[in-house]
Amino acid sequence: MIFFPDEQTFLSFRIGNFGFDIRWYAILIMTGAFLAYLVARKDCRKARYISDDFFDSLFVYTLWAGIIGARLWFCAFYNFSYYISHPAQIIRIWDGGLAIQGGLVFGALFAWYMIRKNRYPFMKLMDILLPVVLIGQAIGRWGNFVNRECHGAEVSEEYFNGILSFLKDGMYINGHYYEPLFFYESVLCLLGFFLIYFVLKKHQNKRGDLAYAYLMWYGLIRFFIEGRRTDSLYLGNFKMAQLTSIVFLIVGTAGYLGAFEKFIHRNKPTVLFDFDGTLFDTARSITESYRAMFKKYSDESKFTPEVQQEIIGPALADLFPKYFPGQDYEKLYDEYHEVQKEIAKKENHPMPNCEQLLKDLHDEGYDVGIISTRSNAGIRNMLKDYGLEEYVGDVCGHDDVEKVKPDPEGIFYLVNRNSWNRECVLIGDSLMDIQGGKNYGAYTVAYLHDPERSAELSKEANEAITDLIDLKEVLKKEISFTYDMK
């Protein structure tokens, strides 16, 4: 094993007739890709509903698709007749020959397929992925420096006096000095990343802005850089990279100005409801059932108005140990449910406009689910009693998951189980509901029917409604239904 056997090779390994080399070009390309991956993964985790496993797979497979595309693009436009006559040479990527724009095109097409297949929003992920490609390009261009390629016309030795002096030796090729175009492109890619990621991102108006900005920026700089290169790929008499750059500029500019909005099909978001206090008015049955438990196992005087507010929403398993320590909780659960069953017959009923809203959402093609700390069977029985079960696609009760709200496990359970759109709108009447939605990355809507909770809920949710039927107006908005609306 020999490290740095020549200026282009990082490692050379030989055993008898077997051996391989690791080139600096590969090291720089993969370093740039890894740094881009780290930045993009951080942003995907901020989106919350994009799983680490999916993102890791997307990044790795898209990278491979990009490498294959970059090679095919090079072979097609460098010397097509040669490679079509010698197809075995196409796979000899170690001999050199990658075209970044081919990698971008093939990578984007593969990413589109994988993202759509897994029901994630394409432009959301493009806003995350494309700007960080500039990091990979900025670092990868130094592989061209090592290989002494991607340069311009011949220049004088004095050209490298001053800040470019550190490039002088590397740009001395076959007895002449050449313009270091790789360096200019590297710096401009890095500048573009900072402008898009740290400046434009703070003022992003709609989904896709960052992706379109990448296309505009890279299309512009590559067009002018390519105009000065002496080792370009051609399509007829035209430089292929310049033609592709023009396409990037047109698509990026049109997209940024909103020209594609009317043609982009927006999938309806999944609509998820809390049950108690949102779809059904169950507050009195819950309150009176708890009151019976306090009478028997504690002290009714401790059942204060503050406690009565606290019990609406959380699961019994979370509150019983707090209020009734040291008891046989399985026995208490059974007693509680028996008491509530009798009270519920008289007190529980759908909230105003609940039936109309569920029917309308069903008729309009929305996937509708319920996520609650109540049992699955309890929810379904109440829906059946009021003839509402046909309007609800699926239910997640506390017995379906290990972790209840505000953990987002229940939302993932419903979305994955039914292959629903991963962009969700969650409607609830408690902070626990809203926080659960935010923990997933959903667009949250607070249902304000309790004056004592209204101010706090309005502050935490994306928006608030006082009548369930108003949710229909929320769903008509031309926004991204995520917690950050981007």
Within a domain: 64: yes
Query: Which of 347, 364, 383 is the last residue in one of the domains?
Result: 347
Within a domain: 6: no
Q: Are residues 359 and 219 in the same domain?
A: no
Residues 6+ away with beta carbon under 8 Å from 66: 103, 104, 106, 107, 110
pLDDT digits (tens, 9 = 90+) for 317-365: 888 999 999 999 899 888 888 888 787 777 889 999 999 999 999 999 9
Within a domain: 444: yes
Q: Are residues 327 and 357 in the same domain?
A: no
| Coil/strand/helix, residue 178 | strand
Q: Are residues 444 and 314 in the same domain?
A: no
How is residue 197 annotated by DSSP? I
Report the distance separating Cα 119 and Cα 424, nearest Å.
Answer: 12
Burial 63-77 (b: 16+ CB within 10 A, else e): bebbbbbbbbbbbbb
Residue 439: closest CA among 412, 416, 466: 412
Within a domain: 293: yes
Instruction: Count structural domains, the chain.
Output: 3
Within a domain: 381: yes
**Minimum mean pLDDT range among 193-197, 262-266, 274-278, 394-398:** 262-266
Q: Are residues 236 and 154 in the same domain?
A: yes
The answer on pLDDT for 451 being more than 90 is: no
The answer on pLDDT for 262 being more than 80 is: no
Q: Are residues 164 and 219 in the same domain?
A: yes
pLDDT at 212: 97
Q: How many CA atoms lie within 13 A of 370 on its CB side?
A: 29
Within a domain: 230: yes
Q: Are residues 287 and 328 in the same domain?
A: yes
Q: Are residues 181 and 141 in the same domain?
A: yes
Within a domain: 148: yes
pLDDT digits (tens, 9 = 90+) for 38-50: 999 999 999 899 9
460 is in which domain, residue-wise? Answer: 270-279+349-475
Q: How many CA atoms lie within 13 A of 180 on its CB side?
A: 24
| Coil/strand/helix, residue 445 | strand
| Coil/strand/helix, residue 442 | strand
Confidence band for 316, pLDDT divided at 50, 70 and 90: confident
Report the distance separating Cα 453 and Cα 429, nearest Å.
Answer: 8
Percent of the chain with pLDDT over 90: 67
pLDDT at 251: 96
Q: Are residues 364 and 306 in the same domain?
A: no
Q: Mean pLDDT over residues 49-77, rounded?
A: 93
Residues 6+ away with beta carbon under 8 Å from 232: 226, 239, 240, 241, 242
Q: Say if residues 461 and 446 touch (Cβ distance below 8 Å).
A: yes
CATH label of the domain that carries residue 418: 3.40.50.1000
Residues 6+ away with beta carbon under 8 Å from 169: none
Confidence band for 395, pLDDT divided at 50, 70 and 90: very high
First to last CA, the chain: 50
The answer on pLDDT for 94 being more than 80 is: no
Confidence band for 468, pLDDT divided at 50, 70 and 90: very high
Q: Mean pLDDT over residues 212-229, rounded?
A: 95
Write down the mean pLDDT value for the chain: 92
pLDDT at 334: 87
Q: Are residues 134 and 256 in the same domain?
A: yes
The answer on pLDDT for 238 being more than 90 is: no
pLDDT at 453: 76
Residue found under tokens 């993969």: 30
Residues 6+ away with beta carbon under 8 Å from 136: 29, 32, 33, 35, 36
Q: How many CA atoms lie within 13 A of 318 on its CB side?
A: 15
Q: Mean pLDDT over residues 290-318, rounded?
A: 88
Q: Are residues 245 and 343 in the same domain?
A: no
Within a domain: 432: yes
Q: Are residues 65 and 182 in the same domain?
A: yes
Q: Are residues 210 and 299 in the same domain?
A: no
The answer on pLDDT for 473 being more than 80 is: yes
The answer on pLDDT for 407 being more than 90 is: yes
